[in-house]
Amino acid sequence: MSMKRSFLFIVVLLFGLHLQAQDAPLREFRGAWVATVANIDWPSSSNLSVAEQKAEIVYYFDLLQRNNFNAVIVQIRPVADAFYASQYEPWSKYLTGSQGVAPAPYYDPLAFMIEEAHKRCLEFHAWFNPYRALMNKYKNPNPFNHVTKKHPEWFVNYGKKKYFNPGLPAVQDYCIKIVSDVVKRYDIDAVHMDDYFYPYRIGKSEFPDLFAYRAYNMKNLNRDDWRRDNVNKLVKRLNIRIKSIKPHVKFGISPFGVWRNAAKDSIRGSNTTAGQTNYDDLFADVRLWQRMGWIDYCMPQLYWESGHPAVDYGTLIAWWNKNAYDRHMYIGHGIYKLGTGRKPAWKNLDEIEHQIDETRHFKKVHGSAFYSIKFLKRNIFGINQMFRDKVYKYPALLPEMKWLPKKVDNALPPRPLQVQMQYATNGMKMLKWRNDKKEQYAVYEIQNTRSRYGKKVLGITRGDYFVIDKKNSLAEYQIVKLDRLHNEGVASSLVH
């Protein structure tokens, strides 16, 4: 082969690979975190009126829908408080400005957010912080009947914060009660927890749980193993409890990005040199939870760039993919770093786009989440255009969790009824079907063989019609009914 022909062959090959890289999956988790603690994302101020609170969260959900996201992760219990009507914990001061004061005029923010998210075909993941009780231990704004006042023996001070003591069985029971209450009363799609189990170490200061260790170390473990056992028991019990109430509700955890450095575990650890790790410092054995199936998804916070000398993104995503086992793995991306610091990686969107593309090259990685949503609101470097025009150009269904029951009778959704195509005078087409209960439907366009998937998702809707904006084009379309876990039934096809 001549050099000229070789060069052309390489160009064609690379162009084909680029086309494939931009050919987004039909199923992919696409989520964003909404942090409420300290008014990071929502509400942007504790002084907002109810109308302003509602308008702000609706704006966020509209933005996610326009960007073809399919999930939102909202912090509803940041510090032993509530963004919902709770009989156990007070209304959050981050909602109304005063701990224990309900919104006025009254509404239930959690119920409102779930309804608005579901209208837009967004899964709602309710984010709990299990053990953080006070951001400032010197100020306790809680009323006299709050758990920090009723059970002061459950709490320890560490740094400037107050925490539940994870080593106390009563604390674990209380946490499970809080989560169970929400699962029972609200139509959430998932329970979500982040990296705050035992807190990050503060220098050489030891977490003050010696009394609990001596009193409740029934297995005669060393202190670190005992701490890990405490967290393991909580995670296992939570999963069992959630599934016993509503089997379809997912349970996911978003841990710190490094499980363990290879220096501590040369066989199982990652080739990283993180200052703190899940296993050795936060006492969170996330790898075990995945292996045992105690969680439905893991969402490690890989907030570093490719080529980082201590915690390289590429090294870590490969490690997490290897340790996903038979549960879902989604990657958390740190878009909050965009436009900050001196590192070139955060001076534009190239690194984030590269990271999303990387997730699609690993078999056991099923999508992404982004921290946090206010950076979409700011549209830093035109990030919304990147989602709409490039990486998330078309919608995507959520990845299937085949271990979860489809329905009580384990049946798939039925074929859509009364499917038809209508034509407008301007040449546009409208697909119509019967949807009395406002259930979810996906609309596909069947593509030519250049697509690795053979079709693409045009939309996911709770309506009974979908407008095709292509004029006078010949194409085949499919309409398929979805259950709440995005399991598909039999499709109905239409050809124009």
Q: What's the pLDDT band for 20 if we cut at 50, 70, 90?
A: very low
CATH value of 420-495 in 1.10.10.10, 2.160.10.10, 2.60.40.10, 3.30.930.10:
2.60.40.10
The 3-state DSSP class for residue 494 equals: strand
- The pLDDT value given to residue 48: 98
pLDDT tens digits for 207-229?
A: 999 999 999 999 999 999 999 99
Is the domain spanning 23-391 CATH 1.10.510.10? The answer is no
Best-predicted range by mean pLDDT (233-247, 395-409, 448-462, 466-480): 233-247
- Neighbouring C-beta atoms of residue 199, cutoff 10 Å: 18
Measured distance CA(249)–CA(252) in Å, rounded: 10
Whether the pLDDT of residue 453 is over 60: the answer is: yes
When pLDDT is averaged across residues 15-27 and rounded to a whole number, the result is 57
The ranges assigned to domains in the chain are 23-391, 420-495
3-class DSSP state for residue 116? helix
Instruction: Give the strand order in the sheet containing 132-134.
Output: 132-134, 161-164, 155-158
Mean pLDDT of all residues belonging to the chain: 93
Whose CA is closest to 39, among 300, 340, 373? 373
Q: Is the pLDDT of residue 121 over 70?
A: yes
Average pLDDT over residues 146-159: 96
- 313-372 per-position pLDDT tens digit: 999 999 999 999 999 999 999 999 999 999 999 999 999 999 999 999 999 999 999 999
Q: Is the pLDDT of residue 17 over 90?
A: no
Distance CA 252, CA 142 (A): 29
Contacts of 136 (CB under 8 A, 6+ apart): 160, 161
pTM score > 0.85 for this model? yes
pLDDT score at 494: 85
